[in-house]
Chain A
Amino acid sequence: MAMVNHKTVIKLENVWKIYKMGEVEVVALCGLSLEIKESEFIVIMGPSGSGKSTAVNMVGCLDIPTKGRILLEGQDISHMEESELAQIRGRKIGFIFQTFNLIPSLTALQNVMLPMVFQDIEKSEREKIASNLLRRVELGDRMRHRPNELSGGQQQRVAIARSLSNNPDIILADEPTGNLDTKTGKVVMDFLHSLQEKEKKTVIVVTHDPTLAKYADKVAYLHDGKIIKLTKR
């Protein structure tokens, strides 16, 4: 894939994250730098505890770094207030989690509509967008089901639909196939891939599975809070 003319959407500059646990300090990230271009598919790999989730959470504005800068479309988010971060999360970022994290009391449709509730989108509009998204992930016949009435793969597809509901530019998926079998995992990955291909979305996937590297434009290998290897296709 040609990388020319693509602008940088995410830039991590010498990012540190240190957790203080009483007397002990845990260094989760130490001087991580990474540049992600628009419409890139990035896979982040590395051993458990290497800081993958920490890094992705910061890109997703769920947390701020102890030191260093994170630029999102040129905007420095490393010192933003929680309310501003929430705003950015809601509009620009779609999250997909390993454990699906659907709201158990809500139906599939309501789950997909929820991010739009927080963006003040009108009810009829929300319903239209959400049902379209559910049809796209082939769950048009499961809209009124609650999460506990759906299989793992179906739940993850609802979660994907939910991540797309505010039409974000960036999709962050932290081990999206971790709880799925190989076949279902492939369906999910193919879908994420198509988002990048067809909708030019920037997709960041954290995984332990080396076979998923084939989807990536770039693979970042993390170790002890640093990138030790970066491969491009």
Chain B
Amino acid sequence: MKLDYIMYSLNHVKNRKMRSWLTVLSILIGITAIYALVSFGQGLQIYMSELATEMGTDKLMIQPKGAMAAGFDLDFYISKEEADFISKVNGIDEVIGMYAKAIEVEHKKQKKYVFGMSLPTQGKEKDLVYDMFTVSMDQGRELKSGDKLKVTLGYNYQFANKIFSKAINIGDKISINGVSVDVVGFFESLGSAPDDSQVYLTEEGMLLIFPETEDKFQYVFARTAPGEEPSEVAERAEEKLRKFKGQKEGQEDFIIQTFEQAIEVFGTIITVINAVLLLIAMISVVVASVNIMNTMYTAVLERTKEIGVMKAIGAKNIDIMFIFLFEAGLLGLIGGALGILLGYGIAKMGGSIAASAGYGLLQPVFPLWLTIGCLLFAFFVGAFSGLMPARQASKLKPVDALRYE
């Protein structure tokens, strides 16, 4: 193949600066969006699989169905009786129920609404929770049994202007729904703003301040026995609890999943959103393709005489075809390359926005295949759009083309 066409095509793209730029711009937008979206999608997948392995693959999550978020609405819960029932299901080693509730926290006359959560303080139950959430204290101490009016706080409370305008210190008193409690510790960052603004109490403390939560677990976790397949155990437990509660299949008011399954649901939602955005990006690529086609038809028309001259000096139809295909591909390629640069910038910016919003773990990734794929895609979209104009150019009769003014 005569790659010397590049010289000719390049010259033309260069010489028609304004029009070339407008055409390039149209494909640039699509590629920018695709590159940024896919890099985030990839980052999300890594984030989720990291999350799943961190939680451990042997854990199950039992949730009430229909709740917006745990602790938001006490009408949705798993009862203590149900939790006890699950703990007896074959293949389940232990079960822990945790209370969670939207609470009002007051510090120096400032009020905030956050989530409060109960933490087990001893035994296997504590092990189970700490196994899933491998965080240690940043400052102070953990809650221990007997700590009724003591709390530990998420990472962000230690700083001014993050949650409250004034920072909280160990030993400070804050009030929870009007009840004064002592702050004994702060957790390390969990990587997301909602997690880092939670308040943790002991079970006794929770029930003391919020007696209405008694028996209404918002989070129930179970550890499956070694050697059992967690997803099978989840299914078995779901079926048993359904029968226990006398509910029909598909109409149960709870859900039992492994962490992987739970995260998958979240992942699926994001993936669907991502796919919709990608679709929009694709539509813009189609628009770009029409644009390139239009530019190339104009180019063929403008250069009809030139085509005639090239044929007169020995260009075969296929040579003319390739010249115009290459030129169209080049427009695509330039748009693609610039789109990748811009997309990279936007994804990086998105990453730092996510980080400043407290989701530092969710970062875009830029695998090589994505970059090469986008470049090839852009080139082929260009070349494909140039196909019809290039064919038209190649089919021109030499004499007619030469006579064209």
A residues lining the B interface (CB < 8 Å): 57, 60, 62-63, 82-83, 86-87, 89-91, 95, 97, 101-106, 110, 114-115, 117-120, 123, 162-163, 166
Contact = CB atoms under 8 A, between A and B. Distances in A.
B317 A83 contact: yes
A166 B310 CA distance: 14
B312 A62 contact: yes
6 contacts: A62-B311, A89-B313, A89-B314, A103-B310, A105-B12, A114-B310
Contacts of A102: 309
A54 to B, nearest CB: 8
B306 interface: yes
Contacts of A104: 306
Given A62-B399, A117-B2, A117-B4, 18 more contacts: A57-B402, A62-B398, A63-B398, A63-B399, A86-B311, A87-B314, A89-B314, A101-B305, A103-B8, A105-B8, A105-B11, A105-B12, A110-B7, A110-B8, A114-B313, A115-B313, A118-B310, A120-B2
A101 B313 CA distance: 11
Interface in B344-383: none
B313 A95 contact: yes
Shortest Cβ-Cβ A-B pairs, 10 listed: A90-B314, A105-B11, A118-B314, A115-B313, A86-B316, A62-B398, A101-B309, A63-B399, A117-B4, A95-B312
Contacts of B313: 89-90, 95, 114-115, 118, 162-163
A67 to B, nearest CB: 17
B110 interface: no
Interface residues of B, number: 25
Contact of B8 (A62, A83, A95, A106): A106
Interface of B: 2, 4-5, 7-8, 11-12, 15, 305-306, 309-319, 397-399, 402
Given A105-B8, A120-B2, A115 B314 contact: yes
B316 A83 contact: yes
Nearest to A102: B309
Nearest to A83: B316
B7 A118 contact: no
Contacts of A118: 2, 310, 313-316, 319
B4 A123 contact: yes
Nearest to A113: B4
A83 B320 CA distance: 12
| Most B Cβ at <10 Å: residue of A103, A105, A120 | A105
Contact of A63 (B306, B316, B397): B397
Contacts of B305: 101
A95 B312 CA distance: 7
Contact of A60 (B11, B312, B316): B312
A102 B311 CA distance: 13
A34 to B, nearest CB: 19
A60 B313 CA distance: 10
A87 B314 CA distance: 6
A7 to B, nearest CB: 24
Contacts of A83: 316-318
Nearest to B314: A90
Contacts of A163: 313
Nearest to A82: B317
B2 to A, nearest CB: 6
A89 B316 CA distance: 10
A102 to B, nearest CB: 8
B314 A119 contact: yes
A91 B12 contact: no
Given A63-B399, A118-B319, A123-B4, A89 B15 contact: no
Contacts of B310: 103, 114, 118
A101 B403 CA distance: 11
